[in-house]
Amino acid sequence: MRLRGLIALMLICSTSGAHAQDLIGALTNIGDARSWATVSVLLGLVLAVTLSTLIGVRRGHKAMDEKFLELERELSRNQKTVMILKDAHEELEVRVRDRTADLEMSYRKLDDVRDSLKAANDRLTSLARIDELTGIANRMQFDETLDIEIKRNIRAQRPVSLILAELDFFEPYCRSYGRKRGEQALKKVATAVSRTFKRAPDVVARYDDQSFAIILPATEVRDAMRFAERMRQVVYQLCIPNSESAVADRLTVSVGIATMQPDKLYKAKDLIAASGRAMEVAQQNSNTVEFDAIRSEPAVEA
């Protein structure tokens, strides 16, 4: 009976379902038939089934182990790839930062060069409009500024006055005292006149070798006459000796004035001509101030 139970237990462990029931039924008859040959066959079958099952499980475990190894190798390769990509990304970021810094430095240098060129160009432009000897505006700047101020003040319905002044007996002065003393006298007169006309829109310029021009925007005749008289006194008070003068013991100036009203659209040359005529009248007596009106026919600019 013990042998029968042991065999039945082995069959139950190695089989299942209907097969186990069949085998148990067969074992029930062992005692009666005393068929040990059948028992041997059954045990052989059980052992064969068990061995086959164990072999299958072993193969399954081996396949799973190989799959795990393959997955581990794939994971390792992926990790290496990730590390390579990470290193490449970090290197790229460093290169981008360095390149950006280089570009920013280049842009700053370019801006510095551009600013230097602009400053040099502005200086050249300024120097082209400055009288080299006296440091005041030259004839080019005078012509440009007068045109601009006439148009601006006509739009604003304001008058524009112009003063032309020439040093009296200046050529005899230069012959007597020398050209260098003449240049020094021009510098002194230019400095004094510039300090006299300090309003923002006023422009003091060297009009000719020995003459000066002052543009007075938004200035009526009465005020222009007052400014011109002040200029005459300033030059007189410089006390620059001039033994060649027929009217004084010093260098003097003759001043002419003209004013353009906003309701009369004259050209710049008409205003200059009127101031020039007034200056010529002043030069007849020297060291005086004269006024002249614009006489040409109005010429409306397109």
Q: Look at residue 27 and tell me if it is in a domain.
A: yes
Share above pLDDT 90 across residues of the chain, in percent, rounded to a whole number: 48
Q: Which of the listed residues 89, 104, 119 is the one where a domain comes to its end?
A: 104
CATH code, domain carrying 162: 3.30.70.270
pLDDT in tens, 102-149: 888 887 887 777 776 666 565 555 557 899 999 999 999 999 999 999
Q: Look at residue 133 and tell me if it is in a domain.
A: no
Q: What is the mean pLDDT of the chain?
A: 82
- How sure is the predictor about 238, in pLDDT bands with cuts at 50, 70 and 90? very high
Q: What is the pTM of this model?
A: 0.60
Q: Which residues constitute the domain of residue 25? A: 1-104
- How sure is the predictor about 2, in pLDDT bands with cuts at 50, 70 and 90? very low
Q: Which of the listed residues 83, 104, 125 is the one where a domain comes to its end?
A: 104
Is 44 found in the same domain as 149? no
Q: Look at residue 117 and tell me if it is in a domain.
A: no
Is 167 found in the same domain as 236? yes
- How sure is the predictor about 296, in pLDDT bands with cuts at 50, 70 and 90? low
- How sure is the predictor about 39, in pLDDT bands with cuts at 50, 70 and 90? low
CA dist 294 to 21, 89, 242, Å?
141, 81, 34
Q: Look at residue 219 and tell me if it is in a domain.
A: yes
- Closest of 194, 188, 81 to residue 136, by C-alpha: 194
What's the pLDDT score for residue 177? 95
Q: Look at residue 298 and tell me if it is in a domain.
A: no
